[in-house]
Amino acid sequence: MEYRIEHDSMGEVKVPADKYWAAQTERSHENFLIGVGIETMPREITHAFGILKKAAAIANHKLRPERMTDEKLAAISAACGEVISGSLNEHFPLVVWQTGSGTQSNMNTNEVIANRGNEIAGKKLLHPNDDVNMSQSSNDTFPTAMHISAVLAVEDRVLPAIDTLVATFRHLEETHAGIVKSGRTHLQDATPIQFSQEISGWRSSLERDREMLASALPYLKTLALGGTAVGTGLNAPEGFDVEVAKAVSELTGKQFVTAENKFHALTSKDEIVFAHGALKALAADMMKIANDVRWLASGPRDGLGEITIPENEPGSSIMPGKVNPTQCEQVTMVAVQVMGNDAAVGMAASQGNFELNVFMPVCAYNFLQSARLLAESILSFNKNCAVGIQANREKMHHNLHNSLMLVTALNPYIGYENAAKTAKKAFHDNISLKEACVSLGFLTEERFDEVFHPEQMV
């Protein structure tokens, strides 16, 4: 491999000749060989850095045109465009497990943009600190990248995924209207319910999760940029924070604003914790829905078997013909991961010592993984399972009329205690509720038929 010599305040460093990063990135690359190739800084963060560096250049050009010249702005903007597109991803090698402020990832971005910008300009035009990092600090850029990436992940990935599954459930409600089945509480038989009503519970859970996620977005849309090192805004021109938030808004098409209190913005990650709580709520509901679906589809002969789901792949290497609810299982595993991530996000956010939180990379890593996994998991579940859910009407009818809890319909006519005696006798003697009720002398056959209508109990 060929190398070139780069230098920083600590001296010279050998850097791969074909990479745009420079000395500080290389030092981090060599000093943190932890999770290399597996736990790289999320690409969502790299993307967000491209946005904020371009926005910062735009703001500096407006406020400091003598330093951020037209030529420098053009070079930075062009390089940032490539960072945003992902075409320079190979030049961002650093792992999550680095400095807790994300300083090395900020400098990685500065160095890549400077070197690529110089290449575009055809001369040594940009300095990573003096130009690309002008009016900024790692301490305000990394939390800004966290918020930008979180907003994009939630608005552009998670919310549309929820909407897709909600639409599927709404369609399933319509196509299964009027089908009555046994309800279940405590995993035991309960009073009847329409299958469409059961599905509506799934849909409404997701709609509420969406509302809670959306309620977190205004907090995530506040940016720390402009606080620089400790929140005072040292070395940033007056109005820089407002101008950079305006530029980020224009670049993303989303309404970001500058954080009112930069001392809070640098040290507290409460907005991330709050938003991830909503992601955890979504994970919890997806766990419930996936479990409902696989229980209802259990069998095909010896389980509940009240619905059928698509058969996507063989389920066993030893049992021929076995098909498993694999999409439900991936959802439940993703839900467990998100719940674990929530603990990591909360712990990381609690480590805001004095003027800076120094657990930001791991906080961002877990948040973005949760958002990414949930979005992809929900879309996969929708495409490969939910759209193909079909009611097994015969099994639903059989289970409904075999349920002892239909006796609840008799309460107004024979009383709770007599209804309980009827249910216990029917179960003990393995006879129908009608036979038990009549044999106990609580109702005549004619009166029983007159008042006992399971389909009307919903």
Active site residue 186: yes
Active site residue 316: yes
| Contact predicate 117/79, CB 8 Å | yes
- Candidates 186, 204, 370, 398; catalytic one: 186
CA–CA separation, 31 vs 198, rounded Å?
A: 54
Cis geometry, peptide bond prior to residue 314 (ω within 30 degrees of 0): no
And the tokens for 61?
Answer: 């050009």
Backbone angles phi, psi at 179, to 5 degrees: -85, 120
Nearest to 23 by CA among 32, 33, 31, 15: 15
CA–CA separation, 212 vs 277, rounded Å?
A: 9
Cα-Cα-Cα-Cα dihedral sign, residues 13, 19, 24, 28 = negative
Strand partners, 8: 11
CA–CA separation, 411 vs 427, rounded Å?
A: 18
CA–CA separation, 452 vs 437, rounded Å?
A: 11
CA–CA separation, 387 vs 396, rounded Å?
A: 20
Nearest to 105 by CA among 53, 150, 55, 49: 49
CA–CA separation, 219 vs 397, rounded Å?
A: 49
Beta strands in 297-367 (DSSP E): 307-308, 352-353, 356-357
Residue at token pair 């992940």: 153
Between β-strands 356-357 and 352-353, what pairing exists: parallel, antiparallel or unpaired?
antiparallel
- State the CB neighbour count (10 A cutoff) for residue 17: 10
Length of the chain: 458
- Candidates 316, 317, 380, 439; catalytic one: 316
CA–CA separation, 10 vs 22, rounded Å?
A: 13
Q: Give catalytic residues, as residue numbers.
A: 186, 316
